[in-house]
Amino acid sequence: MSDNLVFPGDKIASIEEYEAGHNTFDDGDMVRAATMGEKDLNKETRIANVNHPKLLSIPKIGDIIIGTVAAVMSSMIAVTIDYINGKPTTSKVECICGTRNMRIRNVALVRDIAVLKIVAHLNGTIHAVMDEKELGIIFTKCRKCGGKVITMRDAIKCTDCSWIDERKLSSDFGKNDFIYLRE
Ligand SMILES: [Zn+2]
């Protein structure tokens, strides 16, 4: 393994020396990796990048994926897969998840982050489910104002405008910092 391999949240450079470039962010003190990849410090432009390996990964049946909700339809959601069994993937493969039988007002919103289980490959489409305790939404925002939400029994409540809504939440909702920042 290369010495330049970094993981999300890893420190790459100080912001006094380098500016955050591709796949990085600046936490006010350090430039950190936003994804797994190869650290690339450009000494001329003083920009720190992380080059993401191109991995074409198709999840298998039984795999647990974490993805970003790309579309919400009346009876299903489409999710772009970001992680397969905890490993990042850049291939941007989509899966769909049926939501027809869920008695929930807004199962998910576009740009929510969901944990799903892959159950089938049918006619070129990858099918997933979210009907287990640990499956479902792990990150969402208020539908009215985009504010931060907290859980209230089976519902969620906006901390800004107090709007009460529903999602199919994962039992891991609210403990998902590891995805973005690994200390
Ligand atoms: Zn709100």
pLDDT band of residue 122 (cuts 50, 70, 90) is confident
Distance 105 CA to ligand 1 centre (A): 16
Distance 66 CA to ligand 1 centre (A): 25
Q: What's the pTM?
A: 0.67
Distance 170 CA to ligand 1 centre (A): 20
What digits encode the pLDDT tens for the residues 41-68?
Answer: 999 999 999 887 665 578 999 999 999 9
pLDDT of res. 103? 84
Q: Report the pLDDT averaged over residues 97-111.
A: 90
pLDDT of res. 180? 47
pLDDT band of residue 71 (cuts 50, 70, 90) is very high
pLDDT at position 175 over 80: no
Distance 147 CA to ligand 1 centre (A): 5
Q: Report the pLDDT averaged over residues 10-36.
A: 91
Distance 107 CA to ligand 1 centre (A): 17
pLDDT band of residue 4 (cuts 50, 70, 90) is confident
Distance 109 CA to ligand 1 centre (A): 14
pLDDT of res. 178? 45
- What residues does 40 pair with on adjacent strands? 49
Distance 139 CA to ligand 1 centre (A): 15
Q: How much is the mean pLDDT over the chain?
A: 88
Among residues 175, 157, 163, the alpha carbon closest in space to that of 115 is found at 175
Q: Report the pLDDT averaged over residues 141-147.
A: 94
Least confident among 50-54, 104-108, 126-130: 50-54
pLDDT of res. 54? 60
Distance 132 CA to ligand 1 centre (A): 27
pLDDT of res. 119? 97
pLDDT of res. 1? 44
Distance 141 CA to ligand 1 centre (A): 8
Distance 148 CA to ligand 1 centre (A): 7
